[in-house]
Amino acid sequence: MTHILFNPLSNNKNGKVIAEQLLEKIGSSEAVLKDVTQIPDAVEYLVSMPAEESVILCGGDGTINFLANFFRDKKVSVDSVRCSILYHAAGSGNDFAREFTEDKMDENGCIDLKPYIVNLPTVTVKGKTSLFLNGIGYGIDGYCCRVGDDIRATSTGDKPINYAAIAIKGIFFYFKPANATVTVDGQVHKFKKVWLAPTMNGNYYGGGMKITPQQNRLNKERTVTVAVWHGSGVLKTLMMFPKIFEGLLSQYPKYVSYFTGKQVKVEFDSPRDLQIDGETVRDVSEYSVNC
C-alpha cells in the first residue's frame, strides 16, 4: 500500500487537491490519503512503517524542510525508515523539484527523497540552528519573502504572490543594498553595495531563480555555494535580473562572485531580512552555515 501524506497548506492551500489527483492516478485500491498535519509524530509514523509499504510526501519545499528538521530534532536517522519515501511536488515554488527532469522521476512524477534529506547543511541565525534543503536567501530575496508574507497576512484571497514584481519595485524604490563580509572556510572577502548573498545547497530558490547552476547538492565533498551580487547600480541590477531565472548571472563576473566551501559566514553592516527555504527571518545581521 502507498500512503500519500499531503500538506493541506501547500500551494496556497491547494495541497489536498494535488494529492487527490495523484491518488486518482495511482488508484484508490493501491493508495490512501493522509493529512500530514494530523499525524501527531511523523517520524514515529515513518519508522513504524513496514518495508513493503511506501510513502509519498506531497507538498512543497517547506514540507520537506519540516520533515528533515523533525528527524533532526527527534535525533532519529532517516536510514532507520525501512519503507521508501518518495516526493511529489505540490508547492507554490517547488525549487527542489525543478532540478529533476522526467527521466529522474517515476511514472507518477515522484522522486526518491531519502538521499536528499540526509547530511543536509545547517544554518544558524539569531542563535537558532536548523537544516536547510535548498538555500539561504539574504538581501533583496529575503526582503521579497517578508513583503510576500505581509501581503499574504492582509489578503482575503488565495491569489499567488508575484515575487518578481516585488523584487523590481524593491530595487527601484525600497530595498537598499548593504556592505558585506563573506567568510568561506576561513577566507575573508569584503564587498560593497551587496544586493544579495545567498548560500545554496541546490540550484534554485525563490520560485525558479537559478542562482547557483553549478551547485550539486549530492557532491562528494558536501560543500555549498555562496553567490554574492554586488556593486551594480539600479539600472544595471534591473538589466541583470532576468538572467537569474536562466542561471546566467555568471555572465557578469564584475558583479557576481561565487565561493564554494563547508563553513560560511555572511555579515551585513545593517540588518536585512533572510529566508530559509522560503521561511522569513526578519532583521538579521549575520548568518552562518556548516556542512
Chain Cα centroid distance, residue 87: 15
Whether residues 108 and 195 share a domain: the answer is no
- How many domains is the chain built from? 2
C-alpha–C-alpha distance, residues 193 and 176, integer Å: 8
What is the per-residue pLDDT for 148? 86
DSSP 8-class letter at 134: S
Domain that holds residue 96: 2-116
End of a domain among 98, 116, 134? 116
Between CA 134 and CA 2, with CA 75 as vertex, the angle to 5 degrees is 70
Asked if 130 and 50 sit in the same domain, the reply is: no
For position 154, what pLDDT does the model report? 84
Residues 59 and 149 in one domain: no
- pLDDT in the model for residue 149: 86
Are residue 108 and residue 194 in the same domain, yes or no? Answer: no
Same domain, 72 and 21: yes
Same domain membership, residue 254 and residue 147:
yes
- Residue among 151, 139, 57, 124 nearest 96 (CA): 57
CATH number of the domain at 191, please: 2.60.200.40
Q: Which residue has the cell 546566467?
A: 248
CB 214 within 8 A of CB 246: no
Helices and strands (H and E) in the chain: how many = 8, 17
**pLDDT tens string 29-83:** 899 999 999 999 999 999 999 999 999 999 999 999 999 999 999 999 999 999 9
Distance CA 43, CA 54 (A): 14
Note whether 85 and 142 are same-domain residues.
no
CATH value at residue 80:
3.40.50.10330
Task: Output the pLDDT for position 163.
Answer: 79
Please tell me the pTM assigned to this model: 0.93
In 10 A of CB 138, how many CB atoms?
30
Instruction: Tell me, yes or no, whether 105 and 131 share the same domain.
Output: no
- Mean pLDDT of the residues in the chain: 94
Assess whether 178 and 70 both reside in one domain.
no
274 and 164 within one domain: yes
Boundary-marking domain end, from 56, 82, 116: 116
Residues 161, 93 within the same domain = no
Assign 214 a pLDDT band (cuts: 50, 70, 90). very high
Give the separation between CA 202 and CA 134, rounded to whole angstroms. Answer: 5
Domain boundary among 73, 99, 116: 116
